[in-house]
Every structure is written in structure tokens, then in C-alpha cells.
Amino acid sequence: MTVQSVAGDAEIEAVATTHPQVERAVVSDGVIQVMPADTAPQTEFVAQWRRLYDDLYAGDADDSGTASFDGRPDGGAASAGGPMSDFSGWTSSYTGELIPAEQMEEWRAATVERIRGLRPSRVLEIGVGSGLLLWHLAPDCAEYRATDFSPVTIANLRSRLKSSGVPWASRVHLRAAEAVETDRFPEGYFDTVIINSVTMHFPGHGYMRRVVEQALRVLAPGGRLFIGDNRDLSLLPEFVTEIQRTQHPSAAPAELRDRVDQAVAGHEWLLLAPEYFVATARELPDVAGVDIQLKRGSQVNELTSFRFDVVLHKGPAPVRSLTGVPRLPFAGRPELTAELVRRPGEELRVTGIPNRALLRLLASAAAVRRGEEPPPAQEEAGLLPEDLHLLAEQLGRRVVVTGSAQPGEMDAVFLSAPEEEPLTDLYEPREPLEPASHHVNYPQAAELAEHVRRFVAERLPGSDVPAVEIVNALPQPTDGLRNLEELNGSRS
Ligand SMILES: C[S@@+](CC[C@H](N)C(=O)[O-])C[C@H]1O[C@@H](n2cnc3c(N)ncnc32)[C@H](O)[C@@H]1O
């Protein structure tokens, strides 16, 4: 490599790093790899989502056509299910059509059950929306405070509560506020904070971290932060492959692969891997434990395939670690049933269970990656998390089901402990675990990449500016910066 080309890379790195939204930049293999700054302006990104939700729920009020969560029209089926089941906006990412109401009801019932298991009484819900959870949880709570960044959403919910005449409405308090604005609530006040199906709208790790830290602040010791319906970053290729396949059924394999690559790189939702939460629990001293579970549901759909629920337990409080529960590799459903019958009351972690909600999606994404036709759909092998719950119920056992660091597999831990016992170490990440910031994407990546490229090109006229790639992490220290220092030294 010549001194000239090294200097070129170093200069590009140095210039890119002066962009206000860039933490660090490294030129590698002809690409500028950029790590975004945590303080990158997020206001406009959040404001765009707020406008979308204001429009969605304004549509609710006048019953005209409305926008869905991904910005597509949903045909104005605003509140067909009544105020308690307003699933407007819940459209399929694959087809853009509304997700069937019975699938949404199942999703909601499972979420409500999961949160009820936390014994909520003094609750804060962040991003309450139309109140899908509130209508079911608030009647049994001593106090239910809820916020949403969309004032229209809050106004609608307030008027629906008022006109419903429910006696518990006086225990519900609503306020328009962003997820990061929980500072008005007193420290250590709530026993449960709920953030369900909201994280995908956050602009990045920095914002997410602030939301989690502030939610922990308002929780009492022993309190639970339920962060539900997170989209799994580790399954992003499978998710976008399914979207692209559905929307472009006659695309040739090479075209499909290009579409998937572009959709992965420019994905505009915030996705978090389960590892994100394990790392968060290790990084934040207030967190005593983390419980990550797959969603229940009898249908295979994007809600059951790609999303998971998390509970962060605030310390100091006793939390039961599942490390050390005896392990058994999965050998088939009949074998599992026989083993559970043979060992009544014994605790057991069954590992490597093939997840039926994922097997076809993984095979399809792998084929598209190889530039091949996706395999035809066939009779699915494996089990759903729901099958394991039903099996446990039949046998009078309790089970918790989590994903696995091995794609397409899950672990089921059969427990003898009561439901309310707080758990940790259910999900087992690959060790050593990288920091949380490495397990999250950057939803504004495409936009930032374009800004940085233009920024560098304007400041280094005449030079060939490489493509920009947004990454979560970069090795320390950068060779480029060292080389620039050497070069500057040799120039002076
Ligand atoms: C998909 S809906 C979920 C509503 C409700 N949590 C549920 O589970 O049915 C997402 C909600 O989060 C709200 N939201 C999105 N980003 C937010 C933010 N940064 N701060 C506060 N609310 C937000 C939206 O206005 C919307 O009502």
C-alpha cells in the first residue's frame, strides 16, 4: 500500500468524524464505516412518527381512511372492534392488509396474561396507543398512569374512557408525553412500567437507553419493567426476505437478494436482539435480572415469529437465576412428554427445540442469500412456543420459553416455582457478550450514510469518496487516525 492511499483513507476518516452525527469513522475495504454518535439529533425522527400516529388516531375520530404504523393506508377500518379492541394500524408488514382481528385478539390476550403474571398494581404505561392493554389491566390496578407522545391519541383515549362510564376510569391518568419524558413522575413510585410495541419507533440505542434508565428510576425496588413486542434484530434478514418474497412473488433470485440486501441496510425500524437486554442488564446496576420470553400464539405470523417480550427486574430484590437447572437436549415431542411424566415436579431446561414459527423463514432467507429459489412451503416440523405451554398445562407444570443463540431453536425451562417468582438467566447468549450498543440497528442508517457521503465529498473536492456503511461498533484505535498523525508528523 502506498503512503498516498493510506493518507487518503486517513483524511477521509478524519473529515467524516467531524460530521456532527458521527462518533467515529474508519475506511476499510473501500468503504467508510461510520459509527453514529449517541447524541445524533433524533427530534425530527421522533416527530415524524408522532405525526403519523396523530394522523392515525385523527382518522379514528372522523372514521375516514387512516394510516397504518408503517405509513400505508389501512382502508379506514379504524375501530371496528370497539374502543377496547381498536386494532387500527395493525397491518401486516408482508401484505399491508390489516392483521386478522382474531390473531390480534390472541396477541393481546397473551400480552395481558403475561403482564398480569407480574401482579401490577401501580402502573405506568408508556406509548399507550388506543389502550389495548389498559382496558384489560387498569380495572384491577390501584393506579394506572399512561403516556403517549401523540396528543391526539391521548385525547381520543380520554374521551373514550369518559364516555364508557367505567367506574375505574377515575384511577386512570393520561398525559401526552414522549417516552423519554418520565422525569415528572416521582422516583421509586411504580411497581410496574409497561412499554409494549413501542421500541421499534425509537431512533436508536441512545434514546432506548434513556427510556430504560428513566423507567428504572420511577420503579420501586423489586419493580418490573415490561418491554414487550420487540422486533428481533437477529431475524432481520428472515423478516425482510418474507416481506420481499410476498411483495415481489415473481422476482428472480438475484433480484430478490438485492432487494433483501437493500431492505436490511435501509431498515427504518429499531430492532433489538435478545442479547441487547442481557447486556443492558449487565451494564445498568439497577437491574437485578432479565427475563426474555418468546410470544405465545397458536398462529404463525409476524407477531409470533419475529417478536419477543422482556422483563427487567429492578433491584435490590431477590431474583431466581435459572443457571444450573438440569439440561436435556430435545429429542422429539413424545420423548419430551415421557421425560416430563417420568420426573414430576423436577426442574428441567430442554434445549435446542426447533421453532416451527421460524424454520421455513430461515430456509427461505438462506436460499435467497445463496441466490437460489426459496424452497416451496411444506409440512412444518418443530414446535411452537404455544405447543410447549399447552403441554405444560396438560401436565400441570409451569414452563417459560425463550429463544436461542442458535437461530431457529428455542429453550423451554420447566419449573416448579410459582408464577410470581422473578426470573433471570433464561435466555443464554453466546459469551463473551458484546456491549448492548452492538445488538441494535440504526433506523436512520440510509439517510445518515447519504449525509456523510455528501459531507465528505463537499470537504474533499475532487477525491473519490467511497460508499458509507453505518455500523454499531468499530475496532479501537483506528489505523486511519494513527496514520494521519504519522502523516501530519512527517509533513511538519
Ligand atoms: C404500536 S402502538 C402500541 C400501543 C400500545 N402500547 C399497545 O401495545 O397496544 C405504538 C404507540 O407508541 C406510541 N409511541 C411511539 N413512539 C413513541 C415515543 N417515542 N414516545 C412516546 N410514545 C411513542 C405511538 O403513539 C403509539 O400509540
Q: What is the bridge-based pairing of β-strands 348-354 and 409-415?
A: antiparallel
**Residue 432 preceded by cis peptide, ω within 30:** yes
Question: Is the minimum distance from the CB of 196 to ligand 1 under 6 angstroms?
Answer: yes
The answer to whether 227 and 310 are in contact (CB under 8 A) is: yes
What does the alpha-carbon distance between residue 403 and residue 423 come to, in Å, rounded to a whole number?
15
Q: How far is the CA of 133 from the centre of ligand 1 (A)?
A: 12
User: Quick check: is 314 in a domain?
Assistant: yes
Same structural domain for residues 426 and 487? no
3-class SS letters over 14-64: HHHHCCCCEEEEEEECCEEEEEECCCCCCHHHHHHHHHHHHHHHHHHHHCC
Q: How far is the CA of 314 from the centre of ligand 1 (A)?
A: 23
Q: Whose CA is nearest to atom 16 of ligand 1?
A: 201
Same structural domain for residues 117 and 36? no
User: Quick check: is 352 in a domain?
Assistant: no
Question: Is the minimum distance from the CB of 201 to ligand 1 under 6 angstroms?
Answer: yes
What pLDDT is recorded for position 479? 44
What does the alpha-carbon distance between residue 105 and residue 250 come to, in Å, rounded to a whole number?
33
Q: Helix (H, G, I), strand (E, B), or coil: what is residue 370?
A: coil
Nearest one of 151, 156, 154 to 173, comparing CA atoms: 154
Domain that holds residue 266: 100-127+179-320+421-439
What does the alpha-carbon distance between residue 36 and residue 24 come to, in Å, rounded to a whole number?
7
Same structural domain for residues 110 and 246? yes
List Cβ neighbours of 133 (8 Å cut-off, separation of 6 or more).
Answer: 108, 111, 112, 115, 125, 194, 196
What does the alpha-carbon distance between residue 108 and residue 106 come to, in Å, rounded to a whole number?
5
Question: Is the minimum distance from the CB of 148 to ligand 1 under 6 angstroms?
Answer: yes
Q: How far is the CA of 22 from the centre of ligand 1 (A)?
A: 28
Question: Is the minimum distance from the CB of 128 to ligand 1 under 6 angstroms?
Answer: yes
Q: Whose CA is nearest to atom 10 of ligand 1?
A: 198
What does the alpha-carbon distance between residue 421 and residue 51 come to, in Å, rounded to a whole number?
41
CATH number for the domain spanning 432: value is 3.40.50
Q: Whose CA is nearest to atom 2 of ligand 1?
A: 129
Question: Is the minimum distance from the CB of 60 to ligand 1 under 6 angstroms?
Answer: no
Q: How far is the CA of 412 from the centre of ligand 1 (A)?
A: 30
The answer to whether 242 and 94 are in contact (CB under 8 A) is: yes
Q: pTM value?
A: 0.90
Question: Is the minimum distance from the CB of 127 to ligand 1 under 6 angstroms?
Answer: yes
The answer to whether 197 and 230 are in contact (CB under 8 A) is: no
* Count of domains for the chain: 2
Q: Helix (H, G, I), strand (E, B), or coil: what is residue 401?
A: strand
List Cβ neighbours of 156 (8 Å cut-off, separation of 6 or more).
Answer: 57, 60, 61, 130
Question: Is the minimum distance from the CB of 153 to ligand 1 under 6 angstroms?
Answer: yes
User: Quick check: is 344 in a domain?
Assistant: no
Same structural domain for residues 316 and 450? no
Same structural domain for residues 108 and 14? no
User: Quick check: is 202 in a domain?
Assistant: yes
CATH number for the domain spanning 461: value is 3.30.300.30
Residue with cell 372514521: 63
Same structural domain for residues 434 and 483? no
User: Quick check: is 68 in a domain?
Assistant: no
Give the chain's residues under pLDDT 50. 1-7, 61-67, 71-79, 478-492
Question: Is the minimum distance from the CB of 270 to ligand 1 under 6 angstroms?
Answer: no
Nearest one of 231, 236, 230, 233 to 369, comparing CA atoms: 236
User: Quick check: is 303 in a domain?
Assistant: yes
What does the alpha-carbon distance between residue 341 and residue 345 come to, in Å, rounded to a whole number?
9
Same structural domain for residues 435 and 481? no
Same structural domain for residues 20 and 106? no
What pLDDT is recorded for position 379? 67
Same structural domain for residues 239 and 183? yes
Same structural domain for residues 286 and 206? yes
Q: How far is the CA of 466 from the centre of ligand 1 (A)?
A: 38
What pLDDT is recorded for position 81? 61
The answer to whether 224 and 118 are in contact (CB under 8 A) is: yes
Same structural domain for residues 310 and 457? no
Question: Is the minimum distance from the CB of 133 to ligand 1 under 6 angstroms?
Answer: yes
Same structural domain for residues 257 and 280? yes
User: Quick check: is 123 in a domain?
Assistant: yes
What does the alpha-carbon distance between residue 472 and residue 486 come to, in Å, rounded to a whole number?
27
Cell of 93: 408488514
Q: Which amino acid is at 204?
A: G
User: Quick check: is 197 in a domain?
Assistant: yes
DSSP category for residue 68? -
